[in-house]
C-alpha cells in the first residue's frame, strides 16, 4: 500500500478517457508504469541493509517486530514483511534472519 501511494505521487493523476476528469492511477496502471523487477530489487536492497543493522536499532525492530493490539475486521492486509517473504520464495531463497 505504501509503495503504491509513493508511486501514485510520483506518476501523478491521469485524465479519464470517458469523462475527461482527473483520477488516481489504478494498481494495474502502476504495475505497467513501474515494473515488478525494479520494486523487487529495491526491496531486496533495503532488506540487506536492515539485516546488517544491530538488533537494538528501531528500523530492525520495526521489520521483525510483532505489533500489539487488535486487528481490524475483514481480510488482513498484506504486510511489507509478507512482500519480502514472497520475493525471497520467488527467487528460491530460504526465509530466515528474523523474518519467519
> For residue 96, what pLDDT is reported?
60
Which residues in the chain come in under a pLDDT of 50?
none
> For residue 95, what pLDDT is reported?
64
Rounded to whole angstroms, how far apart are CA atoms 8 and 27?
A: 9
**For the whole prediction, is pTM greater than 0.75?**
no
> For residue 1, what pLDDT is reported?
75
Rounded to whole angstroms, how far apart are CA atoms 95 and 87?
A: 10
Which helix H or strand E contains 3, and what residues bound it? helix 2-11
> For residue 98, what pLDDT is reported?
52
> For residue 67, what pLDDT is reported?
67
Amino acid at each position: 500500500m505504501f509503495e503504491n501511494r509513493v508511486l501514485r505521487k510520483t506518476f501523478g493523476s491521469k485524465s479519464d478517457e470517458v469523462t475527461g476528469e482527473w483520477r488516481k492511477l489504478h494498481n494495474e496502471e502502476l504495475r505497467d508504469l513501474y515494473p515488478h523487477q525494479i520494486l523487487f530489487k529495491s526491496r531486496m536492497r533495503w532488506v540487506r541493509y536492515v539485516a546488517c543493522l544491530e538488533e537494538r536499532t528501531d528500523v530492525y525492530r520495526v521489520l521483525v517486530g510483532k505489533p500489539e493490539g487488535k486487528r481490524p475486521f475483514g481480510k488482513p492486509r498484506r504486510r511489507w514483511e509478507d512482500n519480502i517473504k514472497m520475493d525471497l520464495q520467488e527467487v528460491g531463497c530460504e526465509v530466515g534472519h528474523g523474518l519467519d
